[in-house]
């Protein structure tokens, strides 16, 4: 190996030995067959989250033909993984992506530009659905999908160093019970999602019953289902309004 290449390799190896995630070292991660730029500005997309894309596409099919061009809102978009995967697979959709982090939105915009989706996804800075308040009446959401923080704060110190030391805590820590952001979103959603419509939420494997109860409180007439991932673990709550 040439000396320069050897030095570069050793520098990369030292970063990995320091438990920095490989995705951050190489600067990319595949999600739903899309090559995405990743950085510490946003969490690394996980394969389990692809279930949310599957469920979003399924709900879009359910809403046809009444909603041939559904408005889909990805809350807490991070690097844009869900929003961009949906936009790529469902060209007729109008996609809005929100995030409270400007750095995360900048990262998502770069991914959209590189994938040729800049004109298909609107990026909005703000807390959950609040930045869309002005659009709620004239442009309600047909589907809201969100992978929000759901790790209980008491579990943070026990997480792997790859997560605890490198990924943004604000994007993963869901408060004392892990449900702080999910509960707030469900409180906002009825004013933004028209009926028929859907809300799709990623959850931890042991949060299905708790999130389903919160969903029933927000949408008492909705049909609520807990969906499992490929490991047969609870991974998403789907609310059909």
Domain that holds residue 45: 41-240
Specify if 35 maps to a domain. Answer: no
Specify if 3 maps to a domain. Answer: no
SS3 annotation, 135-193? HCCCCCEEEEEECCCCECHHHHHHCCHHHHCCCCHHHCECCCCCCHHHHHHHHHHHHCE
pTM for this predicted structure: 0.95
Q: Residue 202: give its domain's CATH number.
A: 3.40.50.150
| Distance from C-alpha of 111 to C-alpha of 117, rounded to nearest angstrom | 8
pLDDT tens, residue by residue, 158-179: 999 999 999 999 999 999 999 9
* Per-residue model confidence (pLDDT) at position 136: 60
* Per-residue model confidence (pLDDT) at position 177: 96
* Per-residue model confidence (pLDDT) at position 137: 65
Average model confidence (pLDDT) across the chain: 96
Specify if 23 maps to a domain. Answer: no
Give the total number of structural domains in the chain.
1
- What is the mean pLDDT for each group of 10 consecutive residues in the chain (241 residues)? 93 96 97 98 97 98 94 98 98 97 98 96 95 78 98 97 97 97 97 96 97 98 97 97 95
């Amino acid at each position: 190996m040439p000396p320069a290449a050897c030095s570069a390799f050793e520098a990369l190896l030292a970063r990995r030995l320091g438990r920095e995630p490989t995705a951050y070292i190489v600067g990319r991660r595949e999600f739903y067959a899309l090559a995405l730029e990743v950085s510490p500005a946003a969490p690394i997309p996980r394969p389990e989250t692809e279930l949310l894309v599957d469920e979003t596409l399924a709900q879009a099919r359910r809403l046809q033909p009444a909603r041939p061009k559904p408005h889909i809102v990805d809350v807490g978009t991070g690097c844009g993984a869900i929003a961009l995967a949906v936009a790529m697979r469902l060209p007729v959709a109008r996609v809005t992506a929100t995030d409270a982090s400007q750095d995360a939105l900048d990262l998502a915009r770069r991914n959209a530009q590189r994938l040729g989706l800049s004109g298909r996804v609107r990026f909005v800075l703000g807390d959950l659905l609040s930045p869309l308040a002005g659009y709620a009446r004239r442009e309600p959401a047909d589907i809201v999908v969100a992978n929000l923080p759901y790790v209980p704060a008491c579990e943070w110190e026990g997480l792997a160093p790859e997560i605890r030391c490198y990924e943004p805590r604000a994007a993963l820590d869901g408060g004392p019970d892990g449900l702080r952001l999910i509960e707030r979103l469900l409180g906002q959603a009825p004013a933004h999602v028209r009926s028929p419509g859907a809300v799709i939420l990623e959850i931890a494997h042991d949060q299905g019953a708790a999130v389903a109860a919160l969903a029933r409180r927000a949408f008492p007439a909705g049909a609520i289902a807990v969906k499992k991932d490929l490991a047969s673990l609870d991974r998403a709550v789907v609310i059909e309004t």
